[in-house]
């Protein structure tokens, strides 16, 4: 529970602020209580949509020291709430409506209906950028020939072989963006292509920033592990991409930017707490298939975001898909540990499970 202490405090503060906001706007106690309820619903929605985000964050955060883990909880939450839930939507309004950021802020706080129309009107660009970035996050994990454990071998093993092709994740993502663009009219097609390739470019630059920052060589794999500062930057970009669907989905509940920030802020804090709990509890190594499950969920979210340019998927479905994949990977991990407990012992030998169901003792799982 220690990892969630800060989240509980933030939740109480945000709910109180939501009530104060409602009372200040109308002077009615009923409105204040209604806003408290809406903030709570938004927090639950954001948390459920981001289960995969917590697992992926944990896979990166586990290699960072405690100082940077604390910064992820402090600086990171400020960036997540202030940056992605308030400043980013205002910048979208500023760019889409061709007005100054100050005018965009005025629209966001005083003309909620117009604010909602402008932000949702930028959906194609947001989907293209966020979908492309998340697609690369997922593919980069599976296009890795050095991965030791595979969850769904007949899918993951061929993908790991494609890792030998230079730039494979970028090629696949670029082809996918180009193909999907033919769904759109010419004007929207241009917006989608620019946004999609910008997402690819940003992912490339973030990766190059990690290489520039350098790191230490992992004794087990011989790979250069990204430095804590570079990992922190990567985590923030990753969190930003995850937050796109939450910000857009929040308009199904309210168009009040401050209320959205408070509600989604609760969810963002709980995601960070879950991340730290996973890291400090050592659950990633205990539940072997939880990490690949999270990256499958990321790929599903990326696909949903990209096809949303023509096919709308309710936010509840998006959240349920991610939660289902995480749940299945957790179940598979628990079952595998019960069947082969010696693999989880230090210096234990792993067994190979063949597609036929036969087991080769002392081999290596794939």
- The full set of domain ranges for the chain reads 2-341
pLDDT band at residue 227 under the 50/70/90 scheme: low
Q: What is the mean pLDDT of residues 91-111?
A: 84
Q: Is the pLDDT of residue 197 over 90?
A: yes
* Residues paired with residue 215 on neighbouring β-strands, in sequence order: 226
Q: Is the pLDDT of residue 349 over 70?
A: no
Rounded CA-CA distance 329/345 in Å is: 21
Q: Is the pLDDT of residue 99 over 70?
A: yes
Residues 6+ apart with CB under 8 A from 312: none
The pTM of this model reads 0.74
pLDDT value for 193 = 94
pLDDT value for 291 = 82
Tokens of 50: 């981001």
**Helix %, strand %, coil % of the chain (to 5):** 80, 5, 20
Rounded CA-CA distance 297/339 in Å is: 25
Q: Give 128-144 pLDDT, tens digit per residue.
A: 988 898 899 888 888 87
pLDDT band at residue 245 under the 50/70/90 scheme: low
pLDDT value for 224 = 43
Q: Is the pLDDT of residue 355 over 50?
A: no
Looking at per-residue pLDDT, the higher value among 354 and 265 belongs to 265
pLDDT band at residue 213 under the 50/70/90 scheme: low
Q: Give the Cβ contact number of residue 10 at 10 Å.
A: 21
- Using CA atoms, how far residue 177 sits from 11, 148, 167, 227, 298, in Å, is 38, 30, 16, 31, 17
Query: Considering the chain, what percentage of its residues have pLDDT values greater than 90?
Result: 10
pLDDT band at residue 3 under the 50/70/90 scheme: low
Q: Is the pLDDT of residue 361 over 60?
A: no
């Amino acid at each position: 529970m220690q990892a969630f202490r800060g989240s509980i405090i933030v939740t109480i503060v945000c709910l109180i602020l939501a009530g104060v906001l409602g009372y200040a706007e109308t002077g009615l106690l009923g409105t204040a209580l209604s806003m408290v309820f809406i903030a709570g619903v938004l927090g639950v929605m954001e948390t459920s949509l981001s289960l995969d985000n917590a697992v992926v964050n944990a896979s990166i955060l586990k290699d960072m020291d405690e100082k940077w883990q604390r910064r992820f909880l402090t600086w990171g939450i400020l960036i997540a709430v202030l940056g992605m839930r308030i400043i980013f939507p205002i910048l979208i309004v500023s760019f889409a409506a061709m007005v100054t950021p100050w005018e965009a802020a005025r629209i966001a706080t005083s003309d909620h209906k117009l604010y909602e129309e402008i932000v949702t009107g930028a959906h194609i660009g947001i989907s293209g950028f966020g979908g492309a970035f998340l697609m690369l996050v997922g593919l980069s994990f599976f296009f890795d020939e050095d991965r030791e454990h595979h969850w769904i071998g007949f899918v993951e093993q061929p993908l790991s072989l494609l890792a030998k092709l230079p730039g494979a994740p970028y090629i696949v993502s670029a082809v996918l963006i180009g193909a999907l663009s033919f769904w759109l009219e010419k004007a929207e097609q241009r917006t989608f292509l620019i946004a999609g390739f910008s997402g690819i470019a940003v992912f490339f630059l973030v990766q190059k920033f990690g290489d520039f920052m350098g790191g230490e060589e992992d004794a087990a794999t011989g790979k250069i592990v990204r430095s804590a500062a570079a990992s922190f930057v990567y985590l923030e970009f990753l969190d930003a991409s995850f937050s796109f669907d939450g910000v857009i989905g929040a308009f199904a509940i309210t168009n009040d930017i401050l209320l959205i920030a408070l509600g989604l802020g609760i969810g963002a804090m709980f995601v960070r707490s879950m991340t730290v709990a996973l890291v400090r509890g050592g659950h990633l190594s205990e539940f072997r298939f939880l990490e690949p499950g999270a990256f499958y969920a990321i790929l599903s979210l990326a696909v949903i975001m990209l096809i949303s340019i023509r096919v709308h998927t309710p936010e509840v479905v998006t959240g349920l898909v991610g939660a289902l994949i995480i749940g299945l990977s957790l179940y598979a991990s628990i079952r595998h540990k019960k069947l082969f407990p010696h693999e989880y012992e230090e210096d234990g030998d792993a067994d190979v499970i063949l597609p036929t169901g036969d087991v080769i003792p002392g081999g290596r799982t794939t």
